């Protein structure tokens, strides 16, 4: 892994605008979380169609979801931008921004409520907000008999979308399927052809089978494309008592080329092979639990707050908000603010 260290130590020109320049971005008066949720939902719909899973969605008529070619039209622009911009250089810079973010603490439940109320009204497959989706995922796992730590993981797994209110440049570095940067791209990545426009595609340092890594180095020693999964993993790995299986489910649940297509096995170590079945099992609850019959949030909240207290401190340092959320139906919960840490 010495080659990885040397790459990370190379001086790079930041591809993230300084704080004073960020005010000139489309996020000037806040971040459009409805747009973020819209593209995130469309991506999930594509993955539902492609997935070959039966539980807990066995009772759901999957033909009611629009077909793959129809969904593709909604996400092709997103993936074209994501695949162009998710370079090694950007990923090094994003991790630097994360490491140097201003501190900001809040309870886990407050973080979930902050992301709530952002629903794409034009999405025919779901009309529930982010909080309902988190409860749907966790409740599906709980009713299937999964242990408390697994249920809690279902509840927090998408909280990394807070990155959209912090250092994100847009949707492309917040949501979407993830992949490894710094090595040859798998041809099983969604819309693989658009990766040919990425500067790394023809860079001899990064376009070989192993790239800057070594065989069997382990997924913990490669750079995943930066987004809400990696952000949340980095936040929680030292601020929770969740087991390794839970952290893998958080970090890799959008890594479809690996857990569904069985790509990148040449980087796996024994730990990755042990974690993979947990990630695969979790995927069914994430995708097939979505419906327009949301759980009773008010009734469930006290029980979940008790479960969350087992694995998290009273407040988690997610980081300070740089942008305010915007919504056509904003509520008091969406206006919650992070408390500055002492």
**239 lies in some domain:** yes
* Whole-Å CA distances, 68 to 72, 73, 224, 256: 6, 9, 26, 16
Does residue 77 carry a pLDDT above 90? no
* Bind-site residues for substrate: 66, 120-122, 161, 176-177, 253-254
Residue 49 lies in a domain: no
Whole-prediction pTM? 0.77
Domains: count for the chain:
1
Strand-pair category, 31-32 with 325-326: parallel
pLDDT for res 166 = 85
Structure tokens at 116: 């709530």
Domain membership of residue 119 (yes or no) is yes
Domain membership flag for residue 334: no
Specify if 62 maps to a domain: no
Binding residues are: 66, 120-122, 133, 157-158, 161, 176-177, 228, 253-254, 286
Mean pLDDT of all residues in 47-65 = 51
Q: What's residue 69's pLDDT?
A: 54
Residue written as tokens 């697994």?
A: 150
Residue 217 lies in a domain: yes
| Domain extent at residue 303 | 70-317
Residues annotated as binding site for Fe cation?
Answer: 133, 157-158, 228, 253, 286
Q: How confident is the model at residue 156 (pLDDT cuts 50, 70, 90)?
A: very high
Confidence of residue 42 (pLDDT cuts 50, 70, 90): low
- Would 53 be classed as within a structural domain? no
Q: Residue 327 falls within a domain, yes or no?
A: no
């Amino acid at each position: 892994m010495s080659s990885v260290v040397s790459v990370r130590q190379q001086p790079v020109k930041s591809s993230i605008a300084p704080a004073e320049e960020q005010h000139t971005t489309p996020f000037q008066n806040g971040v459009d979380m409805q747009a973020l949720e819209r593209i995130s939902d469309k991506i999930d719909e594509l993955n539902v169609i492609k997935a070959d899973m039966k539980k807990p969605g066995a009772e759901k008529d999957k033909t009611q979801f629009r077909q793959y070619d129809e969904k593709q039209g909604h996400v092709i622009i997103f993936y074209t931008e994501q695949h162009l911009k998710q370079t090694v250089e950007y990923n090094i810079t994003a991790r630097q921004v994360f490491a140097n973010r201003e501190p900001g603490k809040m309870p886990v439940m407050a973080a979930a409520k902050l992301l709530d109320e952002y629903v794409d009204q034009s999405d025919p497959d779901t009309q529930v907000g982010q909080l309902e989706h988190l409860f749907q995922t966790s409740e599906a796992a709980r009713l299937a008999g999964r242990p408390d730590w697994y249920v809690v993981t279902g509840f927090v797994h998408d909280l990394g979308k807070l990155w959209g209110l912090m250092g994100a440049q847009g949707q492309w570095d917040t949501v979407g399927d993830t992949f490894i940067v710094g090595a040859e791209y798998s041809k099983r990545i969604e819309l693989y052809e658009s990766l040919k426009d990425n500067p790394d595609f023809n860079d001899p340092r990064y376009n070989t089978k192993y790239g800057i890594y070594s065989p069997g180095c382990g997924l913990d020693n490669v750079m995943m494309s930066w987004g809400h999964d990696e952000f949340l993993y980095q936040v929680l790995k030292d601020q929770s008592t969740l087991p390794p299986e839970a952290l893998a489910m958080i970090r890799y649940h959008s890594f479809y080329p690996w857990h569904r297509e069985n790509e990148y096995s040449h980087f796996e170590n024994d730990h990755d092979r042990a974690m993979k079945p947990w990630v695969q099992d979790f995927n069914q609850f994430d995708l097939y639990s979505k419906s327009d019959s949301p759980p009773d949030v008010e009734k469930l909240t006290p029980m979940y707050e008790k479960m969350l207290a087992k694995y998290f401190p009273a407040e988690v340092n997610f980081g300070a908000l740089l942008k305010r959320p915007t919504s056509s139906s904003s509520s008091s919960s969406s206006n919650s603010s992070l408390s500055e840490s002492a």
